[in-house]
C-alpha cells in the first residue's frame, strides 16, 4: 500500500475545477436513474454527509434495485470458485527472500513478472497487450546521497541530519543538485484551490525559495465530513504529492513538509523506509527539470527548532494556517543542502491478462493490483534487510491471479475482463499512471473496476468499508455483493487519511473510469471491533513497509477469501450487464467521465 508515493509530478492543478465538478455533458439515460436514486437516498437518510448518504443508498439499494442505473442485476452463480491453494501459494512465493522484495528493475522483478504471466497463462487468460503479457514502463532510478540540511540566518545555526531529522530527495534527474542560502517561507498547507476560495500562495513569489508545508488539509480535525476541504475526509489537496506539485508550479526551489503522525497517518519510520534508498520516477525527456530542486520532510522536532530559530512558533503558525485568509510568513532563515545522485534508466513492466467477452468484447471491466514492493531496505533489529511485502501486496497480486482463475472457470462473460498487475506503486503509482496515460484498452470503453491493495489476514469480519465511499454508482454493486453474505457496509473509519488517493485505482479514476477500493472492516467474527483494531494497529506499527511483512503460515485466510468473493461478484456483474455506472453528480471525476462517454 502506498502511504508515501513518490508520484510523478504531473497532476493537474486546482483538482476539482480541472477534473470536473459534474458540469459536463449530461446523458438522461445515465443521469436520470442516478438522480432518482439519490432522491430516494436523501429521503431515507436526511441531511447526513454525502459519504454516509451514499452508503445508505447502497444499503437500501439491496431492496430497491430499480433505484440504480444498472437495471436488473444479471444472474450470478452461487459463488466464485476461489482457490485457497493459489492464494496462499502465490503470496508465499512472491514474498519469499528469493524475490528480494520485488523492487522494480531488479532481479526480483524478473522473477515476479514471469510468475504472474505464467499464472495468467495457466489460468486461461490471453496476453493483454497485442500478443504480449507485458507493457513496458520507462523508469529512471535515482539513488541520492544528501548532505545535512544547514539553516543559517536565525538566532542559532542549525544542522539537521539525514534520516534522523530530515529526508531529502529530488524529482530532477541530474548527478548533483545544490540548494544554497535559499530563503525560507512558511506557506501553511501549501494549497492553491480557487474553486474553494483558498490560496496559500496569494501575492507570494517563492521562486528560488524553500517552502515549509503542513501535511493534510486545514480542516482535517473537523468532527464531520463537511467543510472547505470536506472536513475529516482528506481531499487530494491534503496529499503530500499535491503539495510538491504545487510548490513546483509556484517556482519553489525546495519544498519540505513537516511530519506529524496523526494528520499523516503514518510514523517517521515509514518516511525513512520510503524515502531512502533507490527512488523511481517516470523517465522524461526534460529530466523533470521543471520540478523543485529538493523535496523532502522534516521531523516535528526539527521543524520546531527551525521555527524557533526563525523567531516563530510552530504551533501558533499551524493554528493560523487552518483559517481562511492565512498569509504566508517569510522567515529570516535560509536553507542549504546538496545531494549527489546515481542514475539508472531501465524499463519496468506491467503484466496484463485478458479474458475476452463473448458478446461485447470491446467493453472492459478491470481488476488491478500492484506486484512491487520496497526491495532491499533498512535492516531491522534481527539484521533482516529484505522488505518482502507479503501482505502489501503479494496478497493482492495473488488475489488477482485467484480471481482470474475463478472468472475463467465460470466461463466467458458478456464483456471482457482485464487483469492488470502494475509496477512501481510504492514509488508513486507509476505503473498504473503509465497505463492511465497509455491505456492498452480505451478508458471510454472501460466500464469500471476494482483495485486490490493488501488483502485482510485478520480473519473474517462482519463489515466492509468502501474507501472513498459515495463517489460513484459502483456503491450499489458493492451493496448487492455484500447482501449475498448479509454483511454491513460501514463508513470509512479514517477519511482524513485520504486513502482513495493513495493506490492504483486513483490513476484510472483521474481518467474518468469508476473504480472501487473496498476492504474488509474491523468488526471481526472472532473478537469483534477491539480485535480488529488491535490487528490493524499492530500491522501498521510492526510490519507495514518493514522487513517483518513476511508470509505467515498461521494466517487466517477467511477474510481475504471473503474480500475476493465480494470483488468477484462486483466484477462479474459489471461484466454481465450493459450498464455504464458513473461517478456521483458533483464528484471531481464526473465531468471527465461524462466527456469520455460522450465520445462513444
Backbone φ and ψ of 213, nearest 5°? -130, 145
Taking each helix axis from N to C terminus, what angle separates 84-94 and 107-123, rounded to the nearest 10 degrees?
A: 160
CA distances from 464 to 55, 63, 478 (A): 11, 18, 9
CA distances from 375 to 157, 367, 368 (A): 37, 24, 21
pLDDT at 43 over 70: no
pLDDT at 89 over 80: yes
3-state secondary structure 241-261: HHHHHHHHHCCECEEEEECCH
CA–CA gap between residue 526 and residue 531 (Å, rounded): 8
CA distances from 200 to 29, 193, 232, 311, 415 (A): 41, 9, 20, 21, 47
pLDDT above 70 coverage of the chain, percent: 87
* Parallel/antiparallel/unpaired status of strands 166-169 and 294-298: antiparallel
Residue 40's pLDDT band (cuts 50, 70, 90): very low
Query: 396 exposed, middle or buried (CB, 10 Å; 0-12, 13-18, 19+)?
Result: buried
CATH class of 141-343: alpha beta
pLDDT of residue 144: 95
CA–CA gap between residue 562 and residue 486 (Å, rounded): 12
pLDDT at 36 over 70: no
* Parallel/antiparallel/unpaired status of strands 279-282 and 158-160: unpaired
**pLDDT tens-digit profile of 303-317?**
999 999 999 999 999
CA–CA gap between residue 114 and residue 565 (Å, rounded): 26
Q: Identify which of 455, 383, 492 has the alpha carbon closest to the alpha carbon of residue 86.
A: 455
pLDDT of residue 499: 83
* pTM reported for the whole predicted model: 0.78
With contact defined as beta carbons under 8 Å apart, do 341 and 177 qualify?
A: yes
The CATH number of domain 15-132+356-598, selected from 3.40.50.620, 3.40.605.10, 3.40.630.10, 3.10.350.10: 3.40.630.10
CA–CA gap between residue 298 and residue 294 (Å, rounded): 13
Mean pLDDT across the chain: 87
Sequence spans of domains, the chain: 15-132+356-598, 141-343
pLDDT of residue 41: 35
* Parallel/antiparallel/unpaired status of strands 176-186 and 166-169: unpaired
Residue 77's pLDDT band (cuts 50, 70, 90): low
Place of cell 469500471: 448
**pLDDT tens-digit profile of 440-477?**
999 999 999 999 999 999 999 999 999 988 889 999 99
Q: How many CB atoms lie within 10 A of CB 24?
A: 17
Residues contacting residue 337 through CB under 8 Å, at least 6 positions apart: 146, 147, 148, 149, 150, 168, 179, 254, 294
* Parallel/antiparallel/unpaired status of strands 375-376 and 386-387: antiparallel
**pLDDT tens-digit profile of 520-559?**
999 999 999 999 999 999 998 899 999 999 999 999 999 9
**pLDDT tens-digit profile of 230-282?**
888 888 899 898 999 999 999 999 999 999 999 988 899 889 988 988 888 99
pLDDT at 585 over 80: yes
pLDDT of residue 79: 67
pLDDT of residue 428: 86
Range name among 37-41, 96-100, 186-190, 222-226 with the lowest pLDDT average? 37-41
DSSP string, 5-27: ----S-PPSSHHHHH--S-S---
CB-based burial, 42-75: b 16+ in 10 Å, e otherwise: eeebeebbbbbbbbbbbbbbbeeeebbbbeebbe
pLDDT at 7 over 70: no
Amino acid at each position: 500500500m502506498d502511504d508515501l508515493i513518490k508520484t510523478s509530478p504531473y497532476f493537474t492543478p486546482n483538482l476539482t475545477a480541472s477534473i470536473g465538478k459534474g458540469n459536463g455533458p449530461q446523458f438522461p439515460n445515465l443521469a436520470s436513474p442516478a438522480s432518482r436514486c439519490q432522491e430516494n437516498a436523501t429521503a431515507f437518510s436526511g441531511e447526513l454527509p454525502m459519504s454516509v448518504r451514499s452508503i445508505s443508498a447502497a444499503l437500501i439499494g439491496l431492496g430497491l434495485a430499480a433505484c440504480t442505473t444498472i437495471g436488473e442485476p444479471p444472474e450470478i452463480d452461487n459463488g466464485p470458485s476461489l482457490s485457497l491453494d493459489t492464494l496462499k501459494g502465490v503470496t508465499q512465493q512472491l514474498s519469499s527472500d528469493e524475490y528480494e522484495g520485488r523492487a522494480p528493475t531488479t532481479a526480483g522483478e524478473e522473477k515476479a513478472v514471469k510468475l504472474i504471466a505464467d499464472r495468467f497463462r495457466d489460468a486461461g487468460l490471453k496476453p493483454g497487450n497485442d500478443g504480449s503479457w507485458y507493457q513496458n514502463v520507462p523508469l529512471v532510478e535515482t539513488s541520492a546521497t544528501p548532505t545535512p540540511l544547514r539553516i543559517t540566518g536565525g538566532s542559532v545555526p542549525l544542522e539537521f541530519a539525514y534520516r534522523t531529522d530530515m529526508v531529502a530527495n529530488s524529482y530532477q534527474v541530474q548527478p548533483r543538485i545544490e540548494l544554497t542560502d535559499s530563503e525560507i517561507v512558511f506557506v501553511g498547507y501549501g494549497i492553491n484551490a480557487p474553486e474553494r476560495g483558498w490560496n496559500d500562495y496569494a501575492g507570494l513569489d517563492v521562486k528560488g525559495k524553500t517552502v515549509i508545508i503542513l501535511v493534510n488539509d486545514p480542516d482535517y480535525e473537523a468532527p464531520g465530513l463537511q467543510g472547505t476541504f470536506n472536513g475529516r475526509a482528506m481531499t487530494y489537496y491534503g496529499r503530500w504529492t499535491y503539495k510538491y506539485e504545487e510548490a513546483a508550479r509556484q517556482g519553489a526551489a525546495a519544498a519540505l513538509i513537516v511530519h506529524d503522525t496523526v494528520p499523516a497517518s503514518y510514523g517517521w519510520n515509514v518516511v525513512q523506509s520510503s524515502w531512502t534508498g533507490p527512488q523511481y520516477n517516470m523517465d522524461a525527456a526534460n529530466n523533470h527539470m521543471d520540478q523543485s530542486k529538493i523535496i523532502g520532510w522534516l521531523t516535528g522536532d526539527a521543524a520546531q527548532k527551525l521555527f524557533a530559530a526563525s523567531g516563530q512558533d510552530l504551533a501558533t503558525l499551524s493554528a493560523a494556517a487552518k483559517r481562511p485568509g492565512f498569509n504566508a510568513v517569510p522567515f529570516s532563515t535560509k536553507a542549504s543542502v546538496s545531494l549527489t545522485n546515481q542514475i539508472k534508466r531501465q524499463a519496468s513492466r506491467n503484466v496484463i491478462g485478458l479474458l475476452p467477452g463473448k458478446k461485447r468484447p470491446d467493453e472492459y471491466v478491470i481488476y488491478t493490483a500492484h506486484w512491487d514492493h520496497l526491495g532491499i531496505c533498512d535492516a531491522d533489529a534481527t539484521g533482516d534487510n529484505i522488505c518482502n511485502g507479503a501482505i502489501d501486496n503479494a496478497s493482492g497480486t495473488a488475489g488477482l491471479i485467484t480471481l482470474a482463475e475463478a472468472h475463467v472457470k465460470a466461463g466467458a462473460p458478456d464483456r471482457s475482463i482485464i487483469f492488470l498487475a502494475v509496477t512501481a506503486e510504492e514509488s508513486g503509482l507509476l505503473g498504473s499512471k503509465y497505463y492511465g496515460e497509455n491505456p492498452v484498452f480505451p478508458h471510454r470503453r472501460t466500464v469500471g473496476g476494482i483495485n486490490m491493495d493488501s488483502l485482510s489476514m485478520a480473519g473474517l469480519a462482519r463489515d466492509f468499508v468502501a474507501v472513498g465511499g459515495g463517489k460513484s454508482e459502483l456503491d450499489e454493486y458493492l451493496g448487492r455483493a455484500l447482501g449475498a453474505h448479509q454483511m454491513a457496509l460501514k463508513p470509512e473509519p479514517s477519511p482524513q487519511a485520504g486513502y482513495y488517493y493513495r493506490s492504483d485505482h486513483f490513476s484510472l479514476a483521474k481518467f474518468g473510469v469508476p473504480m472501487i477500493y473496498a476492504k474488509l472492516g474491523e468488526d471481526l467474527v472472532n473478537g469483534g471491533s477491539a480485535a480488529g483494531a488491535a490487528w490493524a494497529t499492530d500491522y501498521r506499527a510492526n510490519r507495514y513497509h518493514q522487513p517483518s511483512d513476511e508470509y505467515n503460515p498461521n494466517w487466517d485466510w477467511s477474510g481475504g477469501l471473503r474480500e475476493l468473493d465480494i470483488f468477484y461478484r462486483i466484477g462479474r456483474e459489471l461484466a454481465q450487464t450493459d450498464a455504464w455506472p458513473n461517478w456521483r453528480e458533483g464528484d471531481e471525476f464526473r465531468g471527465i467521465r461524462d466527456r469520455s462517454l460522450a465520445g462513444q
